[in-house]
Structure 1
Amino acid sequence: MPADRSAPLLDVRDLCIGFPARGGMVPIVDHVSFTMPEAGILGLVGESGSGKSVTAMAIMGLIDAPGVRISGSVRFRGRELIGLPPRQMRRLRGRDIAMIFQDPMTAFTPVYTIGWQIDEQIRAHERLTRAQARARTVRILGEMGVPDPERVAQRYPHQLSGGLRQRAMIAMALSCNPTLLIADEPTTALDVTVQAQILDLIRSLRGMHGSSVLLITHDMGVVAQTCDSTLVLYSGRVAETGPTARVFDRPGHPYTAALLDSIPPLCGPRPDRLPAISGTPPSPMDRPAGCAFGPRCAHVHAACTTTPPALVPLGPDHAAACVLPAEGTPLPPRILRASNDTCP
Structure 2
Amino acid sequence: MHADVPLLEVQNLCISFRSHGRNVPIVENVSFSVNMQEILAIVGESGSGKSVTATAIMGLIDTRDVKITGSAKFRGQELIGLPQKAFRQLRGRHIAMVFQDPMTAFTPVYTIGWQIDEQIRAHERVSKSEARARTVQMLGNMGVPDPERTANRYPHQLSGGLRQRAMIAMALSCNPALLIADEPTTALDVTVQAQILDLIRNLRHDYGSSVLLITHDMGVVAETCDQVMVMYSGRVAEFGPGDAIFAQPAHPYTAALLDSIPPLTGPRPTRLPSIAGSPPSPSERPAGCAFAPRCNYSHKSCETVPPLVTYGQQSVACVLPVEGRALPSRAVTKDLA
Task: Report the TM-score, using the length of structure 2 for normalisation.
Answer: 0.96
Aligned pairs (5 A) from 1:227-306: 227-305=225-303
Q: Is residue 331 of structure 1 aligned with residue 326 of structure 2? A: yes
Residue 342 (structure 1) aligns with: none
Q: 2:311 aligns with which of 301, 311, 314?
A: 314
Q: CA RMSD in A?
A: 1.3
Is 2:115 the partner of 1:117? yes
Partner Cα distance (1:335, 1:13) in 2: 33
Report the alpha carbon displacement of residue 7 of structure 1 after superposing the two structures with TM: 2.6
Determine helix, strand or coil for the equivalent of 1:325.
coil
Residue 194 (structure 2) pairs with residue 199 (structure 1): no
| 2:91 equivalent to 1:93 | yes
Contact 1:97/1:179 (CA < 8 Å) preserved in 2? yes
Question: Stretches of 4+ moved more than 2 A in 1?
Answer: 3-7, 331-336
Deviation at 1:315, TM superposition (A): 0.8
Instruction: Work out whether residues 6 and 77 of structure 1, in 8 Å CA contact, stay in contact via their aligned partners in 2.
Output: no
AA at the equivalent of 2:306: P
Residue equivalent to 1:166: 164
After superposition, the Cα gap between the structure-2 partners of 1:5 and 1:91, relative to the gap in structure 1 and judged at 3 Å, is: farther
- Which deviations, in whole Å up to 9, do the C-alpha atoms of 1:23-73 show, x marking residues without a partner? 401110111000111000001000000000000001100001222100000
Q: In structure 2, do the counterparts of structure 1 residues 91 and 80 end up closer, same or farther at CA, with 3 Å as the change threshold? A: same
Residue type of the alignment partner of 1:331: A
* 1:309–1:321 Cα contact (<8 Å) kept: yes
Q: Is the 8 A contact 1:177 1:209 kept in 2?
A: yes
1:80-229 paired onto structure 2 within 5 Å: 80-229=78-227
- Encode CA deviations 1:300-342: one digit per residue, 9 max, x unaligned: 111112x1101121112x111001127x552335259xxxxxx
Report SS of the residue matched to 2:321.
helix
The answer to whether the 8 Å contact 1:4/1:79 transfers is: no
CA separation in 1, counterparts of 2:174 and 2:4?
23
Q: TM-score, normalised by structure 1?
A: 0.94
1-side partners of 2:41 and 2:223: how far apart?
10
Identity %: 70
State the distance in 2 between where 1:290 and 1:335 align. 24
| Whole-angstrom CA distance in 2 between matches of 1:4 and 1:91 | 22
**Structure 1 unpaired stretches of 5+:** 337-344
AA aligned to 2:257 is: L
Give the 3-state SS of the residue equivalent to 2:237 in structure 1.
strand
Q: Number of matched residues?
A: 331
Please say if residues 312 and 325 of structure 1, whose CA atoms lie closer than 8 Å, have aligned partners that are also in contact: no
Q: What is aligned with 1:340?
A: none
The worse-fitting range, judged by mean Cα deviation, of 268-277 and 105-114 is 268-277
**CA deviation string 1:215-255 (max 9, x = no partner):** 00000000000000100000000000000010111101000
Task: Report what 1:62 is aligned to.
Answer: 60
> Could you tell me which residue of structure 2 aligns to residue 51 of structure 1?
49
Query: 2: CA distance between counterparts of 1:261 and 1:22?
Result: 38
